[in-house]
Amino acid sequence: MTNREAIQRLSINKHDPIAVTSLHDNNAAIIRAAIARYFGAGPVADKAECALMQRMAAHARLYEHPEDLDAWLTRCANTECDRLRNEAIWEKADKD
C-alpha cells in the first residue's frame, strides 16, 4: 500500500491497522529519526513510537492533497514527537 492510500484509509478510519502498519513500514527511516532525535533509544523510545503512530493516524485527515506527502509526514512526525516529549516533561513535573 502506498503512503497516499494509507493516508486516505486513515482519514476514514484512524484505527485501520493495515494502513497504520503500511504507513510505519513505508516511512520507517523518517519515524525512527524523529524518535531518536526526541527520545533516544530504549523502552521510552519504543513507547513513543507506538504513540507517534497513533497520533499520525489521527492526523491523517488533516493532510491536503496538493501538499508534498513526504514533507507532511516528516513535519507531522517531528511535531508529534515534540508534543509527546513536552507532555512527558509536564507529567513528570506534576508528579514532583
Q: What is the pLDDT of residues 11-53, one digit of tens each?
A: 999 999 999 999 999 999 999 999 999 998 888 888 899 899 9
pLDDT tier, 93 (very low <50, low <70, confident <90, very high otherwise)? confident
pTM of the model: 0.82
DSSP string, 33-89: HHHHHHH-SSHHHHHHHHHHHHHHHHTGGG--TTS-HHHHHHHHHHHHHHHHHHHHH
CATH 1.10.10 fits 3-95, yes or no: no
Cα(84)–Cα(92) distance, integer angstroms: 12
Domain boundaries defined on the chain = 3-95
| pLDDT for 96 beyond 80 | no
